[in-house]
Amino acid sequence: MNMASINNNDQGMVLLIDKPFRWTSFDVVKKVRNAMKIKKVGHSGTLDPLATGLLILCTGPKTKTINQIQDQEKEYQGTFTIGATTPSYDLETEIINLKEYGHITTEMIHKAADQFTGWLDQIPPQHSAIKKDGQRAYVAARAGKEVVLEPRKVEIKVFEITAVRLPEVDFRVVCSKGTYIRSLARDFGEHLGTGAYLSALTRVRIGAYHLDNATTVAAFLETLKS
């Protein structure tokens, strides 16, 4: 099994999991916790249900390292779709606000990306797990209530456009803890004047931990049977 930093159960384990599409991060935690029959399992950095890629789980004493791991920089690959928006900034909600994008050129796409590097004030999505007045923001948002969230300082270290096939734009982003790629999609679309939403996302790295060294949930559960 190709996984990094796995120790025995007494010492705890750091598990690199390739999160499946449409699973929540807690779905993965629950599956591993039940399979291993242990209580202490946590993850270092939530992935949205529609995102895939690297999810780091810590068990037992290793849960003490969660904050240290999730403070490290993150790297993502994904796709924005321009010419429309969604309330959640991804495909969890309906596509709205269709706009013409035929005038957008590859040069304009690259110039727009240049505006979103360095330290930025980023407003998190209303459809997020951030707590506002004691309630998760997404709970209020799904109930049709408007949630006003405060901007956060985040750092976009790299924002590279890797392919343009309009209306889709592929990208690679290296960023700080707390960065919402969905919010980056929204801001990117607003800058272009066309709107945009996140249509695909994979987390490929957290610090020195890489998706290449991760395993699937199913493969990990198989190792527990041996």
What positions carry a catalytic annotation? 48
The candidate with the shortest Cα–Cα distance to 19, out of 35, 32, 6, 10, is 32
Contact 83, 101 (CB under 8 A): yes
Residue type for position 1: M
CA distance 119 to 129: 22
**Beta carbons within 8 Å of 61's beta carbon, 6+ residues apart:** 11, 12
Residue 182, helix vs strand vs coil: helix
**Beta carbons within 8 Å of 204's beta carbon, 6+ residues apart:** 53, 54, 75, 76, 77, 210, 211
181-216 burial code (b ≥16 CB/10 A, e <16): bbbbbbbbbeebebbbbbbbbbbbbbeebebeebbe
Contact 58, 13 (CB under 8 A): yes
- Distance (Å) of CA 14 to CA 3, 64, 91: 9, 11, 31
